[in-house]
Structure 1
Amino acid sequence: MGIGKSKITSSINVDDMLKKAESNHELEAEKQDADKRLTEIREAKEALLKIHRDLLDAIKAEGEAAVILQEAISSSNNIINGIYNAIVKAEQNTQFKATIKSEHLAQLQQLLNQAIETWKNMLKNHRSEQTKMLTEHESNMRKILRRNEGVWFSDFWMKVLGIFLFVYTVVLGMVVYCST
């Protein structure tokens, strides 16, 4: 009995086996790279979701501040009317007459207007800070897309990828078919 071909088994093509092993190795390396990129994308997504939640909280706080400011404006008018009504009532129910000069009321109104302007400026600054944060967020998103981080393909590049994979599969099939 010598070394030779068995009648039962066909010949073993060592080159094909090496090519398959090499392609399996390349496929595994690409898979690991894809897993790494997917992890990076998930981390970026979590960071963006956190920023989005923070922005929503800031917008909610701005809305609450605006409501409080509107209530302060309306209550300041009520306070002035209440003071005036109390003075009139006190004048009617007392034996001596108390007078409030119009310049004092004007001074009070001026102080209230200054307080309202201060609140308006604070709200304006808050809105500008929110606009700045939103601009920074948009800039970060543009940077991520510009560096091609993440999985995003335009319609054109998806078509190119699809055609390339189809041609690659057909050529590979023809090579396998011709070699056997």
Structure 2
Amino acid sequence: MGIRKSNITPSINVDDMLKSAEISHEIEAEKQDVDKLLVEIREAKETLLKIQQDLQNVIKAEDDVTVALKAAIDSSDNIINGICNAIVKAERNTQFKATIKSEHLAQLQQLLDKAIETWKTMLENHCSKQAKMLTEHEFNMRKILRRNEGIWFSDFWMKVLGIFLFVYTVTLVLVAYCVT
């Protein structure tokens, strides 16, 4: 579409003008976005440079601490070796004198007597507890037998039962063998 003023002046194309204005507006907006991004990138770069410097300082401090720790380890090893050598010398050069007096033997005898008395009382308590448990067990067995609970065979009847079962099994085997 074109607007004409007169025959002498050329026509103005409004669509092209709007498109060019729109394009220039978009370019301006993108420039502003790019400027903002550049500012953010510069700030990030400065922050990264500060972090890098801090890391270098930390690495240097770590190296200093490592050297100090190695020196401390070496000196502690020397101290430990010196202490061990002093202990060994003291053990070699020290003589112990041991004497046993009759008073000490009497004290030892008293301690042994007390220990023996303690063991005797403990053994007597144990025996009395066992006797009590045995009496209770016998009482329970009598009660069971009085009520005819359970089964009890004398030696004679157990022998008779065993012989009967043996003869029965042998007979059964022979019958099965003869049948087949």
Smaller-chain TM-score range? 0.3 to 0.5
Q: TM-score, normalised by structure 2?
A: 0.39
Q: Name which one, 1 or 2, has greater alpha-carbon Rg.
A: 2
Q: TM-score, normalised by structure 1?
A: 0.39
